[in-house]
Amino acid sequence: MRLSPNYAFLTAILPVVASLGLVACSGGPSDQNQMPPQTVTVVTLKTGSVDLQRELPGLVSARMVAEVRPQVGGIIKRILFTEGGKVAAGQQLYELDDALFRAGLRSAEAARMRAQAGLESARSSAERGAELVKAHMISVQDNDNLQASFHQAQADLASAEAAADTARINLEYAHIPAPITGRIGKSAVTPGALVVANQPEALATIQHLDTVYVDVTQSSGEWLQLQQELATGGEGNSKRDVRIVL
């Protein structure tokens, strides 16, 4: 059977039309819902030195701390500093009622003068006794007693002088000074309070803050590693920069 030319042309283009239909169907709604391509960042790696940093918690403490305590007992008469202010070493901080200490010093000075007079009398007697015993005008025993009295008077004077020194020191202790230079905190007592010698509670605390310590907490492993790096490393490991951040 022979086909007409028109029928043969249609038969030839049918596959092409079908293919075009499939292509048209492939661009339907399903392709429109697909995500766009993601942006990719390209990184080039290279070798280099990196500074490692560690942040450690720390505690700042004063280089010197002094607690002010009385060395004699008495009533607080005056407070001579400003709480929270700076004080200098030797500056008077507290003044105790020193009436009894002044009376004690006067009594001790009087006893010292009495002992001094007794020593002069005993010295004269001892010197006369030494001359009289040579002339056989007194016995050796009497001379020995005079010499012993002289030595006893010397000892009495030394004891009286020590008592006077003690009374003078106690009077000085009634005026409590600052042991160090620094910043003083709050006073634990007020005028009129009774304090005793070497009491456990401090009257105030002074901290010397011109130079301070910073104590940081670090694990023993990291500390040993840092020591090894400092001991075996070159110039790069011989220096460590430290910053304090409040």
Given 158, 173, 188, which residue is the final one in a domain? 173
CATH of the domain at 209: 2.40.50.100
Instruction: Kindly provide the residue ranges of all beta strands, DSSP E only, lying in 88-172, ordered along the sequence.
Output: 92-96
Distance CA 176, CA 197 (A): 12
User: Phi-psi category of 5—alpha, beta or left, where left has phi over 0 and alpha has psi -120 to 50?
Assistant: alpha
For β-strands 92-96 and 182-184, DSSP reports them as: unpaired
183 touches 37 (CB < 8 A): no
∠ CA(226), CA(229), CA(230), 5° rounding? 90
Do residue 219 and residue 181 come from a single domain?
yes
CATH of the domain at 147: 1.10.287.470
Distance CA 130, CA 142 (A): 10
Residues in the chain: 246
Q: Is 31 helix (H, G, I), strand (E, B) or coil?
A: helix
Do residue 135 and residue 109 come from a single domain?
yes
Domain holding 187, by residue range, is 64-97+175-223
Q: Do the domain assignments include residue 190?
A: yes
92 touches 76 (CB < 8 A): no
Do residue 107 and residue 166 come from a single domain?
yes
Is a pLDDT exceeding 80 seen at residue 16? no
Is a pLDDT exceeding 90 seen at residue 49? no
Do residue 103 and residue 163 come from a single domain?
yes
Distance CA 37, CA 236 (A): 46
pLDDT tens per residue, range 145-201: 999 999 999 999 999 999 999 999 999 999 999 999 999 999 999 999 999 998 999
237 touches 230 (CB < 8 A): yes
Residue closest to 101 by CA, chosen among 168, 151, 25, 49: 168
Do residue 72 and residue 188 come from a single domain?
yes
pLDDT tens per residue, range 216-239: 888 888 888 878 877 776 555 556
Distance CA 198, CA 195 (A): 9
Average pLDDT over residues 48-55: 79
Q: Which of 4-8, 53-57, 139-143, 217-221 has the highest mean predicted lDDT (pLDDT)?
A: 139-143
Task: Write down the pLDDT at residue 204.
Answer: 97
**Summary mean pLDDT of the chain:** 86
Do residue 167 and residue 196 come from a single domain?
no
- Around Cβ 93, how many Cβ atoms within 10 Å? 20
Is a pLDDT exceeding 80 seen at residue 113? yes
